[in-house]
Amino acid sequence: MAGGTSQPGRSVTSKILAILAAFETTRRALSLTEIAASANLPLSTTHRLVGELIEAGMLSRTPNGGIQLGLRLWSIAQNTGRQLRDTARPFVQDLFSLTGETSQLAIRDGNSALYIDRVYGTKRIARASRVGGRLPLHATAVGKVILAFSEAWVMDAYLEHPLESLTAQSHTSPIQLRKELEQVRANNFAVTREEVRLGTCSIAVPVYHTGRLGCSIGLVVPSSHASNMERHLPVLNGIAKRLEAATVHIPLETLLGVITGKDKNIPDLDEDEDRP
Amino acid sequence: MAGGTSQPGRSVTSKILAILAAFETTRRALSLTEIAASANLPLSTTHRLVGELIEAGMLSRTPNGGIQLGLRLWSIAQNTGRQLRDTARPFVQDLFSLTGETSQLAIRDGNSALYIDRVYGTKRIARASRVGGRLPLHATAVGKVILAFSEAWVMDAYLEHPLESLTAQSHTSPIQLRKELEQVRANNFAVTREEVRLGTCSIAVPVYHTGRLGCSIGLVVPSSHASNMERHLPVLNGIAKRLEAATVHIPLETLLGVITGKDKNIPDLDEDEDRP
DNA sequence: TATACGGCATCCACTGGATGGAAGCACGCA
DNA sequence: TGCGTGCTTCCATCCAGTGGATGCCGTATA
């Protein structure tokens, strides 16, 4: 038999998504074969779908024959969560200017801290996270803040699952973590010491929104001068306050386009359309 | 007849892409009906496809029932053109710190200037462009730089098409534009005065890469203090030089994942995978 | 030089998933 | 109560999508 034996229960859509998902965890260009393997699709099918995606600019070929995400996809995706990013960026920049340390902003997306923005200097430190990247909530300072100040059920649900260990320093005991989060709530800030990556520590504070937690901002500093990270707290809290003030007028759900409640009648965004 | 009358010659892929493309020019959440209209698809088909995309996190529902791009899509798309963005960001920041004016970085994507990054302060000026957005090459300072320093055929091809006018100040005469670009090449910088949006002017310089044009960096300033934008040229050129130095070791094609030549043996990216 | 191999592109007969008109539902408004 | 709008569900039809087979190209091996 020639063809037609399509694996049942698999929609074309899911195949396209699987192809895109192949690029979720890598910055490299991938070969057709790699994509096919990652998406669990026959080569010929992959070939055709990838071809269409390239045609549309969602993927693009690199000069050496590899396949990468396309600029068009990036360009479209930039319209996601713009409200928060655009509003917050100057504040994250300020945070960097005032501290000289890598500054970042993260929100909760499922069980991960999703890094929305980060600002750093030319002298690169070993990066543990990147914009658009995710890290487990219990291993990062921003994550701990998010866990500590989220609704109780979020934390409870999170602690159900086993806590992944990224370095020898990661805290993986649920009981101990619960205590630590208690501390975070009491102190209004969280720290991590080499729990994500050896050589870097971090500190973060919550940014509130209408009483609830909105997001978290923090710093990543090399362990070498992390002995007194707490000295940055006044700046962190100051920026957090200003960011809160800048976002109060925007409904929390609108900030990210994520459903976290069942509110109604959220006003749509305004401003100039269609012009980039 | 019930169903099955699918418009022939339309692949599922193209339909999904049309749905995503509906969000290309708007930041608003769209209704199902709006998406269907934009993608030119029957409502029921749109409904099912959108449902699948939401399921996968590529789209998401807003609390008031609208549909928006999903965080997962954004997160995946962040892996596009990372090389240039990550490398250039500190320099764009520096540019902002040193000038206090909105700083931006753009490349050519087809016939548009594609804004890769921008840094601005809290006191917002009327935005004419945004990260991920496009503007015609002839109306912006970065665009003029890109046109002026690209290969000759790029400029020639661009001038074939009619030049869109964004404001009354836009230069739309091909002959005059050609002269202007000559000037840009001679001066090594370009300016625009209210050609994109009334109230803002801009200035930009080229960033070279192995002899060719790599990208362009520039400033946007309110017309009110745009009388002597040229005073920023030393800083602009200084930053451009430093950015050039920081990118020489990366092949131009790799910087963006765009094919601009037919080179071979581009080394793939390195560094830690899989960890955000 | 010959041979083997891995990766990529193309082909095509078959079929099951995609399709879209229509009907049903939910809500808001007069 | 009745109408209008927008969303959801249903299902008989059928064509777009499928994937095994084949062939090609460049590189590594004998």
Pick from B209, B105, B89: nearest CA to B150: B209
Angle A89-A90-A94 from CA coordinates, rounded to 5°: 120
Q: State pTM to two decimals.
A: 0.89
Q: What is the pLDDT of residue B183?
A: 96
Looking at the predicted structure, is the pLDDT value of residue A256 above 70?
no
Tokens standing for residue B153: 């055929």
Strand ordering across the sheet containing B134-136: B134-136, B112-119, B102-109, B212-222, B200-209, B190-193
Asked if residue B123 has pLDDT above 80, the reply is: no
Contact B28 A70 (CB under 8 A): no
Q: Cβ A77–B73 below 8 Å, yes or no?
A: yes
Closest C-alpha among B162, B99, B60, B117 to residue B255:
B117
Residue extent(s) of CATH 1.10.10.10 domains in chain B: 12-76
Domain with CATH 3.30.450.40 in chain B: 82-256
Task: Kindly state the percentage of chain A with pLDDT values over 70.
Answer: 87
Q: What is the pLDDT of residues B246-275, one digit of tens each?
A: 998 877 776 765 543 322 223 333 333 333
- Does B232 have pLDDT greater than 90? yes
Q: Inform me whether the pLDDT recorded for B119 exceeds 70.
A: yes
pLDDT in tens, B158-183: 999 999 999 998 899 999 999 999 99
CATH number of B12-76: 1.10.10.10
Give the Cα separation of B21 and B35 in Å (integer).
9
Structure confidence at residue B96 as a pLDDT band (50, 70, 90): very high
| Chain B residues 37-56 within 7 Å (CB) of strand D | 43-44, 47-48
Residue closest to sugar C1' of D6 by CA: B33
Express each pLDDT in A114-137 by its tens digit: 999 999 887 766 666 789 999 999
Q: How confident is the model at residue B5 (pLDDT cuts 50, 70, 90)?
A: low
Amino acid type, B217: I
| Minimum-distance nucleotide, CA of B65 to C1' | D7
State the pLDDT confidence band at A175, using cuts at 50, 70 and 90: very high
CB pairs under 8 A between A and B: 252
Q: For position B6, what pLDDT does the model report? A: 56
Indicate the fold that domain B82-256 takes in CATH: Beta-Lactamase (3.30.450)
Q: How far is CA B192 from the centre of its chain?
A: 17
Band (pLDDT 50/70/90 cuts) for residue A274 is very low
CB B84 within 8 A of CB B107: yes
Average pLDDT over residues A142-157: 93
* Sign of the CA dihedral running A24, A89, A214, A159: positive
Mean per-residue pLDDT, B34-61: 90
Please tell me which residue lies nearest to nucleotide C19, judged from CA to C1'. Answer: B4
The 3-state DSSP class for residue A68 equals: strand
| Chain B window 135-154, residues with Cβ within 7 A of nucleic strand D | none
Q: Quote the CA–CA distance of B23 and B38 in Å, as a whole number.
A: 9
For residue range A180-238, what is the model confidence (pLDDT) as tens digits? 999 999 999 999 999 998 989 999 999 999 888 999 999 999 998 888 999 999 999 99
Of B63, B71, B276, the CB nearest to A264: B63
pLDDT value, residue B75: 94
